[in-house]
Amino acid sequence: MTLAIRLPRAPEQSQPESLQVLNSLPELAGADSLQQVLQALDALALPDNQPLSFLGSLDTPALYWFAARTRFPSATLWLLQGNDAWLKLTASGHQEQKSHAAPAKPLPSPTESVDPEAWGTTASVSDVDVKKVVEQTFRNHAWNLAEAERMLQEQLHHFSGEPALLQELQTAARHGRHAFQMSLALNKKLQAGASFNEVAEWIEQQANSQPHRVVKHLKIEMQKKKNWHNTQHQKRQAARQFKITLPNIALTDGLHPQSLRALPPSSEWQILIDESGKKFSLDATELNETDRDLGRIVALALPANSNLLPLSRPHHASDLTHAEIQKLLLAIINSNSGILGATVRQDLLTHNWISAVAQLARWALLMLPVNGPTRVRILIEQRDVYTSSTALTALAQTLENELKLLAPGRFAQLQLQLEIMSKNHPLNGYVDVIANAWASPDDIKRKMLARTHWRNHCLLQNSDMQLIERFYQRVSNSPELSAEDWFELCQLAALEPEHSLLRHLLIQTAERAQQDPSFWQQCVDVARTRVSTKRFTANSLLRALEWLESTRSGHALPGLLELQLKSLQLAAKNHLGLSDLQLVSEVLKRAQSLLEESAPDACEAILRVAISATNIMDFTSPQPFIEQWLQQPVAAVGLLNHGKLHSTLGQLAAFNNQPTRAKSAFDAALACFNRLSDPQKALRESHQTLIYRSLVLMDDQDPQTRSHIMQLAEQATHKTGDASIKAVARSGDPLRFDHYLLLRWLVVHQDTTAERNTYLTAEPEWQFGEGHPWMLILAYRGWLLAENGAREKAGNYFNEAIEACMQPEQGPLLHWMACVLSALAQSLQLPVEKLEATSQQLPAVFPIATLATLAAATTHQARLEALGKALPFNFH
């Protein structure tokens, strides 16, 4: 008896005689690529050594028919027609009717409704299903497929003899492009906090002015978003029961142990390359780094003595449980392998997938620790038409030639081989799980990835890889670097491996500067010019100044450059929540001495000193010098800096529980910001200061608090009353500080029952983010839920908030916040882990004694008082 597989929308209780149904292929939510369906077919583990049949109906999406024929060319397809008769479609295309079957319709491909082999010839309308061709053209453009325009041009050529059809195709493409733009507007509304009902109403409003197919597309897109959100909500609930045991990987001098630049040389390398996402063309530059569709290419480099064992069976990350994924990730971080990944949004600016793969392979070879004879074998996971390694021979030879021309001494003994590997390759599961975890919006996968510390160290985002490539090309044949080249070299060398060409160049340049004082002086002149003309980034200037300091051999840096160096070093420490008192002292001294020479630069350094002090809860010592700088003429420091000085003074007063003084300082800052000529900058600075001012009103129990906070919420959401509260509750990163302010007010004021209920009703649509103040948003959500009786759920939110604070990259202040939130949860009698805080772990100035008081608090007012002492002002 022949085995059969039911395709989506095939009848459950009917099948042709002599067939035994073995399994059913489920319909994949949102599936829009052949690759997804093929993976689902592979997951069924169907036998390939005996006859197979596939059962479907007229409603079965064409994508599934095409996938079945692609994976099993000799299989028989059975189509249930509208008259309940089964139609047998053989591999040769011959059709056998059973019973009183109607004439069969041709099966379209997933992207075209005509035979692909017929392209290049013209056809008449009678040869194809016109409706399907036109509809697919619309979909291609509505989905913004990279191949949409190419396929349209092929269709226009194919049907060049049919003017009416040509017009229909062009109209469908135009409607599709418009539908894509409308779907972007839909996403923007959801991100800004609009509810699904509000978006549905908006779509209905479009029905009077938009083509029917555009409106239908928007409805489908919204339903996909709604289904995805509900699924994610359910996954989040289930994931809270899963325990992450992966260790947090530490960096060594800022270098990840699995960065290619951290690996020792090897005579042989095997590099496995896989990808995730859909967009591999230039339009991917418009996507966010967190977008699932963004094309990502990942390379896993295994040395000759690799300790990563082959997998006993095929592993596809999309089908694995969290526990299985964690097991694979643990094996990778315990191995001696290296990782490099990049996205097509920032680094891999290409028009197609194979170009992105070639570019990442080139960069991996540049970054590998090549030293002497080296054989590199690159295995690329099969995709689309790339199923044979012979197609890559020319690419391998081209890459090898380019590298040998670029750096002859380094790559003279390189032997390069490129091959296509099967998805079931025994090592492919490792690189596949890295790509999947990087792209996945799944919260547990993101947390596991965070513990690996691969992101931004091995998996590059917003990196300077293209700059490195251009610099390689410019200096590879130059006998000696200029001082201008030196400045760029300082920025780029930090991104390169220890054995790279740029690292060698930087060492040689340092030796040259120590032997030739005139060259060192030329570099100083370049740095000074860059500063005066503002042609630098903070990172590039910091690296250049540190290089000058390390190579000066008795020479002194000019005063302004010395201030820039110290100020940037202080900013870097502030970003990590660290404080360096010696560095603070040096910055203060130099800023004061350079007041007359460059007041704006000196003032900016002073503001960084104040931030550094608050990181160790010192809210007093910055006040005198901030007030001193406020005595300087506005024209000297600049209007923006003058406003920031007032705002900083207001924040210090708020930290010290001086509400009257804080409000006065914030009002002075707002007066400055309102005078700025740049309206966007004025709005940004004013809005942040108004949030600070509202926090002071709240802590001072000012009766105007409610009106001020609601006014900010309504301004941010362009809605009023309860609608603005719901919009904030559903909002994402763009409104995170407005969200924090509103939620803090709801928690503090228990008389906001109606507003609290409004916020809680939006729980199914709550969004989540990373970084400050999301940990406070999570904790305050838990607090509201606890007071509303949902204690288990409340504990889960507190645990997430605490874990976010305890990430290794966070400084002592965030670790202290974790201890405080743990004590708060204990006060609320929630099931969270108790964190101990000692003066050995945290700076002595932290009010550690308040933890016991907070944990023992039994009333709302007692909790607020203890919380305010432990984390004053906007620290809670």
pLDDT in tens, 109-158: 333 333 333 333 444 444 457 788 888 889 888 887 766 887 888 888 77
- Residue 303's alpha-carbon distances to 307, 311, 337, 339, 417, in angstroms, are 9, 17, 7, 12, 15
Query: For residue 514, what are its two tokens?
Result: 């120590």
Q: Is 269 helix (H, G, I), strand (E, B) or coil?
A: strand
Residue 80 has, within 13 A of its CA and on its CB side, a CA count of: 18
- Residues 297-340 have pLDDT tens digits of 899 999 999 999 888 888 888 778 888 899 999 999 999 999 98
Residue 643 has pLDDT above 90, yes or no: yes
Spatial contact of 56 and 95, defined as CB atoms under 8 Å apart: no
- Residues 233-252 have pLDDT tens digits of 666 666 666 788 898 888 77
In this structure, what are the phi and psi dihedrals at residue 270, rounded to the nearest 5 degrees? -120, 120
Q: Strand pairing of 86-89 and 52-57?
A: unpaired
Query: Per residue in 532-560, is it b (16+ CB within 10 Å) or e — as a string?
Result: eeeebeeebbbbbbebbeebbeeeebeeb
Spatial contact of 127 and 87, defined as CB atoms under 8 Å apart: no
Residue 748 has pLDDT above 90, yes or no: yes
Q: How confident is the model at residue 499 (pLDDT cuts 50, 70, 90)?
A: low
Residue 456 has pLDDT above 80, yes or no: no
DSSP 179-200: HHHHHHHHHHHHHTT--HHHHH
Spatial contact of 854 and 835, defined as CB atoms under 8 Å apart: no
Which own/partner contact pairs does 739-742 have at CB distance under 8 Å and 24+ positions apart? 739/777, 740/773, 740/776, 740/777, 740/780, 741/691, 741/694, 741/695, 741/709, 741/712, 742/709, 742/713
Spatial contact of 493 and 503, defined as CB atoms under 8 Å apart: yes
Region 620-638 average pLDDT: 88
Q: What is the pLDDT of residue 540?
A: 67
Query: Per residue in 388-408, is it b (16+ CB within 10 Å) or e — as a string?
Result: ebeebeebbeebbeebbebbe
Given strand 19-24, what is the order of strands in its sheet?
19-24, 2-6, 52-57, 76-80, 86-89, 95-97
Spatial contact of 637 and 645, defined as CB atoms under 8 Å apart: yes
How buried is 500 (Cβ within 10 angstroms: 0-12 exposed, 13-18 middle, 19+ buried)? Answer: buried
Q: What is the pLDDT of residue 146?
A: 63
- Rounded to 10 deg, the angle between the 639-655 and 659-673 helix axes is 160
Spatial contact of 46 and 52, defined as CB atoms under 8 Å apart: yes
**Nearest-angstrom CA–CA distance, 264 and 636:** 53
Q: Is 876 helix (H, G, I), strand (E, B) or coil?
A: coil
Pick the more confident residue, 445 or 36. Answer: 445
Q: Strand pairing of 2-6 and 414-421?
A: unpaired
The position carrying tokens 């290296």 is 338
In this structure, what are the phi and psi dihedrals at residue 431, rounded to the nearest 5 degrees? -70, -30
In this structure, what are the phi and psi dihedrals at residue 89, rounded to the nearest 5 degrees? -110, 110
Tell me the percentage of the chain whose pLDDT exceeds 90: 24
Pick the more confident residue, 654 or 515. Answer: 654
Supply the mean pLDDT for the chain: 80
Residue 834 carries which DSSP code?
A: P
Residue 76 has pLDDT above 90, yes or no: no
Q: How confident is the model at residue 707 (pLDDT cuts 50, 70, 90)?
A: very high
Residues recorded for the chain:
876
Residue 465 has pLDDT above 60, yes or no: no
DSSP 200-264: HHHHHHHTTTS-HHHHHHHHHHHHHHHHHHHHHHHHHHHHTT----PPPPPPBTTB-TTBGGGSP
What residue type is assigned to position 766 of the chain?
A: W
How buried is 516 (Cβ within 10 angstroms: 0-12 exposed, 13-18 middle, 19+ buried)? Answer: exposed
- Angle, CA of 656, 660 and 666, to the nearest 5°: 85
Q: How confident is the model at residue 421 (pLDDT cuts 50, 70, 90)?
A: confident
Residue 737 has pLDDT above 70, yes or no: yes
**3-class DSSP string for 679-734:** HHHHHHHHHHHHHHHHHHHHHCCCCCHHHHHHHHHHHHHCCCHHHHHHHHHHCCHH
- The region of weakest confidence among 42-56, 143-157, 526-540, 786-800 is 526-540
Which own/partner contact pairs does 350-355 have at CB distance under 8 Å and 24+ positions apart? 350/280, 350/281, 350/282, 351/146, 351/281, 351/282, 352/146, 352/280, 352/281, 353/275, 353/280, 353/295, 353/383, 353/384, 354/386, 354/395
Q: Is 72 helix (H, G, I), strand (E, B) or coil?
A: coil
Query: For residue 743, what are its two tokens?
Result: 């939620």
Residue 484 has pLDDT above 80, yes or no: yes
Closest-CA residue to 224 (of 154, 137, 292)? 292
Q: What is the pLDDT of residue 649?
A: 93
- The region of weakest confidence among 15-29, 362-376, 567-581, 779-793 is 567-581
The number of helix segments (H) and strand segments (E) in the chain equals 35, 11
**Nearest-angstrom CA–CA distance, 776 and 782:** 10
Tell me the percentage of the chain whose pLDDT exceeds 70: 82
Helix (H) or strand (E) holding 756: helix 753-761
**Nearest-angstrom CA–CA distance, 506 and 822:** 48
Region 593-602 average pLDDT: 84
Q: How confident is the model at residue 864 (pLDDT cuts 50, 70, 90)?
A: very high
Residue 564 has pLDDT above 80, yes or no: no
How buried is 312 (Cβ within 10 angstroms: 0-12 exposed, 13-18 middle, 19+ buried)? Answer: exposed
Residue 765 carries which DSSP code?
A: G
| Distance in angstroms between the alpha carbons of the first and the last residue of the chain | 69
Q: What is the pLDDT of residue 74?
A: 74
- The region of weakest confidence among 34-38, 41-45, 206-210, 626-630 is 34-38
Region 345-352 average pLDDT: 64
Q: Is 96 helix (H, G, I), strand (E, B) or coil?
A: strand
